[in-house]
Amino acid sequence: MLEWLYHTNHRLRLKPEPQIIGFVPNQYDQRLAIHRNILAQLLPQLEKLKIHGFAPIRFSSEFKNASGLGVPLHLYRPNHPACADFSLIVSKLVELLKKKD
């Protein structure tokens, strides 16, 4: 995905190139060894590329239920634990938007 992004940015001659704010692993289930292994391998690779690796968004079928109704999770199930997984991402976006002012 990153290769495609870098190639496309170069091909389109975007100035300035879009900034990568970070990478968000999603549908992460810590009970699954494959998920833990992938995350353990991913974070050092992102670090080498100087891309921030956000904490993963946990797996929940409630995402599909909310999507089926056309609403985000925080409106469908406001107290669902996965809603809190987005707080660091939102904080980073708010911080970046404040810098632009």
Give per-residue pLDDT as tens, 49-85: 999 999 999 999 999 999 999 999 999 999 999 999 9
Which amino acid, 66?
Answer: A
Instruction: Supply the pLDDT for residue 28.
Output: 96
Q: How far apart are CA 29 and CA 77, in angstroms?
A: 19
Q: Which residue has the tokens 């660091």?
A: 88
Buried b (16+ CB within 10 A) or exposed e, 53-81: bbebbbbbeebeebeeeeeebeebbeebe
Per-residue model confidence (pLDDT) at position 101: 66
Phi and psi (nearest 5°) for 28?
Answer: -80, 130
Mean pLDDT of the 86-100 span: 92
Residues above pLDDT 70, as percent of the chain: 99
The candidate with the shortest Cα–Cα distance to 52, out of 76, 88, 97, is 88
Please check the confidence at residue 46 and state whether its pLDDT lies above 70.
Answer: yes
| Percent of the chain predicted with pLDDT > 90 | 84
